[in-house]
Amino acid sequence: MRNLLPATEENVRRAAEILRRGGLVAFPTETVYGLGANALDPRAVARIYEVKGRPSFDPLIVHVASREDVHRLVESLPPEAEALMSEFWPGPLTLVLPKSDAVPPITTAGLPTVAVRMPSHPVALRLISLAGVPVAAPSANPFGYVSPTSARQVAETLGDRVDVILDAGRTSIGVESTIVALRGDDAFLLRPGGLPAEEVERVLGRPLKLPSESDVMAPGMLKRHYAPRTRVIIVNSWEEYYRLRAMYGRVLLLLPRPLHGVEGDVRFLSERGDMGEVAANLFGALYEADREGYEVIAVMPVPEVGLGRAIMNRLRKASAPR
């Protein structure tokens, strides 16, 4: 792959120049790899939708390199947004706020709001600040497929349709950012993610609300998503697992912690049952299982607290019917 480059200072400079000229750069963040373009350039943003095969109703997250960069993107910054930014930025928290006229409609899929995030990965921060423009970036995977936690995954699925892929190894968090929308007096959790919702609630001093199913606030939150080609089934008991093994040829079982004596092909997502490790390894395990030609990926659920909430959200979407 000629476009797959190690994220050295020289290559990050090259990539920043490409962004400035309207090109596409895949880059590491602490959550997953992103597919970036100049968020203020409608033609560059259009290429993101094209390369990902992403429907035009699904808005993008705009990435910045400093808290100050947010001001030109939003109409106003409520005090609660400032409190969350000072507590959690840079990091895996995306805020949805009323947008300014600087942000073209294609970036927000026509919505009056914009999603903004300051990633903590040093390569992402360096790239965005050298480019000197805010960077719109969805996860760097074909639409609906497993999100990439390594540059190789990006190269294998998007290939030469991206101008440059910056390689900085595996991402540390492994699930996407938590998305919170602030609207009037309400704060909504639009997507559980790498920052536990409990942390956000601690700073806000009240619980986050969940948007209703029909709410247009959370466009792009489709039932099926993050899914490998291989069928994913959440199994709630050993009985269910052994039934699957009897029904299908090749079954891979993913477990959150080591457990010995289980029959069949088993992979442990963490050596210690640590939810941070499970999240970091989840997408990679789904991706690899797809390549290894399993017929079914069986997964044992984890408790839905902290990062467990994001993990179960991704697993439910990956296992939803086509």
Interface residues toward Mg ion, by CB under 5 A: 139
- Tokens of residue 298, six digits: 């069986």
Residue 197 binding partner per list Mg ion, ligand TXA, none, with a CB distance cut-off of 5 to 8 Å that depends on partner kind: none
**Considering Cα of 178, then 189, then 59, then 95, what sign does the dihedral take?**
negative
Least separation, in Å, of the C-beta of 299 and ligand TXA? 21
Least separation, in Å, of the C-beta of 305 and Mg ion? 23
Per the document, the length of the chain is: 322
Q: Edge-to-edge, what's the strand order for the sheet holding 135-136? A: 4-6, 164-167, 25-27, 34-38, 135-136, 61-63, 113-117, 93-98, 178-183, 186-191
Least separation, in Å, of the C-beta of 26 and ligand TXA? 9
Q: Compare residues 109 and 233 and give the one whose CB is closer to ligand TXA.
A: 109
Least separation, in Å, of the C-beta of 143 and ligand TXA? 9
Q: Compare residues 47 and 300 and give the one whose CB is closer to ligand TXA.
A: 47
Least separation, in Å, of the C-beta of 218 and ligand TXA? 6
Q: Compare residues 106 and 252 and give the one whose CB is closer to ligand TXA.
A: 106
Helix, strand, coil % (nearest 5) of the chain? 35, 20, 45
Tell me which residues touch ligand TXA (CB under 6 A). 29, 31-32, 34, 58-61, 92, 94, 96, 108, 111, 113-115, 117, 119, 137-139, 176-177, 179, 190, 217-221
Q: Compare residues 4 and 60 and give the one whose CB is closer to ligand TXA.
A: 60
Query: Which H or E run contains 292?
Result: none
Listed in sequence order, the DSSP H helices in the chain are 9-20, 42-52, 79-88, 122-131, 151-158, 197-204, 238-247, 275-291, 307-319
Distance (Å, whole) CA 142 – CA 222: 15
Closest CA to 209 of 228, 183, 248, 173: 183
Least separation, in Å, of the C-beta of 140 and ligand TXA? 7
Residue 94 binding partner per list Mg ion, ligand TXA, none, with a CB distance cut-off of 5 to 8 Å that depends on partner kind: ligand TXA
Residue 77 binding partner per list Mg ion, ligand TXA, none, with a CB distance cut-off of 5 to 8 Å that depends on partner kind: none
- Tokens of residue 310, six digits: 């994001």
Residue 255 binding partner per list Mg ion, ligand TXA, none, with a CB distance cut-off of 5 to 8 Å that depends on partner kind: none
